[in-house]
Amino acid sequence: MKTRTLIASLLALMPAAAIAQSTIITIPTQSTTPTIPATHILDGHRGIDVELRGSYLYGMGDSKGYGMFAAELAIGKRLSNSFYFGLVGGVWSSTGDGSDPVLPLMIETQAYTRLTKKLRLTAGLGLGYGINTAADIHVPHSHDVIHMPNYLLWSLHGGMQIAAMRQVDISLGAMMGVMVPVGGDVNGEGSVYIGPRIALNFHRGEQHARKPIRDSGMQLTVEGEMDNSEQFTGLGPAMAVTYKWDPHLSFGLGGGYSHSWSDSDDAYTEQVHFSGNKVGGGYSPYADVEHDSFHFFARGQWRLTDKRLSPVASLDMGLRHYSISQDIGLTSKKNSHTLPYAKPQVGLSLRLLSNNIYLEGKVGYQLAAGIDGDVEVSLPDRATYDAVMRHPINTSGLCFSLGLVSTMNILPRR
């Protein structure tokens, strides 16, 4: 009897056990790790690419003996692991006497071939239009005007792209630029320039934990500068090494180079002396003044907040060493001056995704002493005379800068 009762009890429990087992087996499991589609990451690039480029090109053919600086900003997107499309703007500036910069606007495509995980071969083609900043020439003692042309542009470049960091690539290679004049009264078949090229590409990389923001440490700043006084326009690079004391204050030293030019007919007034006797004076209708300068400065900077985008103010104070070339239509001579200057600026500072690299754009006013003095000029087969500048060359004016600041883990305050 007891045996039959035990068997009946076991049989009654079996359906309940089966139901429980079925319930356990059918419980769904969920993954807590989100999956990013592979198509969202193209060779480590996500979203928009921003690229800063610099080239020094050598003239070929009719342009042999001349050089050209090319500084460009490109914004575009990787459409696949092998193809890129973007827009390019910047400045192409010839080193020829009296040359004014050309402002290129181009569309561009690039192709890539991966060699290793961090190394790619690249080739690119750009097509566009160049705006000539040179003013039309008014012929002296005449109503005639020589209209300056603009340019059709195309560029071809190639080289290697190195994935230096998760969000930064470095490109090393060569570039060829072609300029074909269109419109205006100056005819020509065009100019060809070839030379080395370097580029820094900034992009959003694969998603990883961000590095903490460094509130102190050594900083390296690389920037491009533009000075625009009443008589001159100047362009050039600068670099500064500063110390970030806290999230707001930084200070340090720097230096840079600038090339300035002017085609203004009243860039300076000359008073001519021949063998000690005054033989003429007044405005020189062919006045053409250029100057190169190396400048060294101390910098203090204040970032208003520690937010990703913040207002910023800076002050540079230092010395500029000018090397001046003056052409008065007969011959030319160079002389040098070293003068103090101060440059207060305000702008915006944007902390990029790396958390320790900042993009800064600033505008300000350069306060500098005017350049004056005598320039001794020798005429062929004649005695020497002096071209005396009655009115100093004005070097004060608006200034602009665009740069990248990197805060490094060197000598941080604990």
Apex 167 CA angle, 164 and 169, nearest 5: 40
Do 82 and 163 fall within a single domain? yes
More confident residue, 188 or 244: 244
Predicted confidence band of residue 44 (pLDDT cuts 50, 70, 90): low
Amino acid 6: pLDDT? 47
Do 44 and 151 lie in one domain? The reply is yes
Q: How many domains, in total, are found in the chain?
A: 2
Q: Do 240 and 338 reside in the same domain of the chain?
A: yes
Contact 102/130 with Cβ under 8 angstroms? yes
**Does 1 fall in a domain?**
no
pLDDT tens profile 184-228: 776 667 889 999 999 999 887 665 556 688 889 999 999 999 888
Residue 228: which domain range? 210-414
64 and 173 belong to one structural domain:
yes
pLDDT given for residue 365 in this prediction: 95
Query: Pick the residue with more confidence: 214 or 42?
Result: 214
Query: Both 219 and 354 in a single domain?
Result: yes
Decide if pLDDT at 178 tops 70: yes
Mean pLDDT of the chain: 77
What kind and span of H or E run contains 23?
A: helix 2-25
pLDDT at 261 over 90: no
Summarize pLDDT for 105-148 with one digit per residue, the tens. 999 999 999 898 889 999 999 999 999 888 777 777 677 777 88
Give CA–CA dist 328/289, Å, rounded: 9
Q: Which of 56-60, 131-135, 230-234, 357-361 has the highest mean pLDDT?
A: 357-361
Q: What is the mean pLDDT of residues 158-171?
A: 88
Say yes or no: 125 and 262 in one domain.
Answer: no
Q: Do 188 and 217 share a structural domain?
A: no
pLDDT at 152 over 90: yes
What is residue 310's predicted lDDT score, i.e. its pLDDT? 95
User: What pLDDT band is residue 30 in, cutting at 50, 70 and 90?
Assistant: very low
Domain finish residue from 159, 180, 208: 208
Q: Under the phi-then-psi rule, with left for phi > 0, alpha for psi from -120 to 50, and beta for the rest, what region is 145?
A: beta
Residue 138 located in a structural domain: yes
Residue 297 domain-assigned (yes or no)? yes
pLDDT of residue 103: 92
Within-domain flag for 264: yes
Which tokens is 381 given?
């087969």
Task: Compare 180 and 312 and report the one with higher pLDDT.
Answer: 312
Q: Flag the least confident range among 255-264, 314-323, 343-352.
A: 255-264
**Among the three residues 192, 208, 224, which one is the final residue of a domain in this structure?**
208
Average pLDDT over residues 150-169: 90
Tell me, yes or no, whether 66 lies in a domain. yes
Q: What pLDDT score does 127 carry?
A: 95
For range 268-292, the mean pLDDT: 46
* Residue 23 belongs to a domain: no
Determine, yes or no, domain membership for 229.
yes
Residues 315 and 383 in one domain: yes
Closest listed residue to residue 289, CA positions, set 245, 217, 347, 229: 229
Classify the C-alpha dihedral 195-126-50-113 as positive or negative: negative
- pLDDT-derived band at 298 (thresholds 50, 70, 90) equals very high
Q: How confident is the model at residue 369 (pLDDT cuts 50, 70, 90)?
A: confident
Q: Which residues pair with 68 in a beta bridge?
A: 57, 94
Residue 20 lies in a domain: no
pLDDT exceeds cutoff 60 at 27: no
Same domain, 113 and 202: yes
* Domain final residue, candidates 173, 208, 243: 208
- pTM equals 0.54
- Domain identity same for 261 and 407: yes
Residue 183: which CATH number? 2.40.160.20
Domain co-membership, 93 together with 159? yes
* Domain shared by 348 and 375, yes or no: yes
Percent of the chain scoring above 90 in pLDDT: 39
List C-alpha distances in Å: 394 to 42, 167, 227, 322, 398.
51, 43, 12, 13, 12
